[in-house]
Amino acid sequence: DARVTQTPRDKVTEMGQEVTMRCQPILGHNTVFWYRQTMMQGLELLAYFRNRAPLDDSGMPKDRFSAEMPDATLATLKIQPSEPRDSAVYFCASGLDLAYEQYFGPGTRLTVT
């Protein structure tokens, strides 16, 4: 069945290293969302795309985070340089369009030491 996939599932890295997370949305979905979840902050919206165009990235720290969609089957979230406070679970979700439900991937658990 159709699912959102994310890689890697777990990532442990040292402070200052670059981290790249990847997401493959469900085929045919034209919206992609990136969220970050921590115990303290809950589920935070970082950025989202429609038809590969970024619509809002106001939730991201601009100096270190970047999100792109090189093509319709791949979305990436990069952190450079990473910091311990970036430790969280990062979820990607996709949907048919902005007004409709989103389906979440399994998440990438990031630990920055």
Partner 1 sequence: QKEVEQNSGPLSVPEGAIASLNCTYSDRGSQSFFWYRQYSGKSPELIMSIYSNGDKEDGRFTAQLNKASQYVSLLIRDSQPSDSATYLCAVKGDMRFGAGTRLTVKP
Q: What is the contact surface with partner 1 in residues (CB under 8 A)?
A: 33, 35, 42-43, 45, 48, 56, 91, 98-107
Looking at beta carbons only, is 15 or 100 nearer to partner 1?
100
Tokens of 87: 């430790």
Asked whether the CA dihedral 49, 50, 54, 56 is positive or negative, the reply is: negative
Question: Cβ of residue 70: shortest distance to partner 1, in angstroms?
Answer: 22
Distance CA 99, CA 81 (A): 34
Question: Cβ of residue 40: shortest distance to partner 1, in angstroms?
Answer: 10
Looking at beta carbons only, is 57 or 81 nearer to partner 1?
57
Question: Cβ of residue 29: shortest distance to partner 1, in angstroms?
Answer: 13
- How many C-beta atoms lie closer than 10 Å to residue 16's C-beta? 10
Looking at beta carbons only, is 5 or 17 nearer to partner 1?
5
Distance CA 47, CA 17 (A): 21
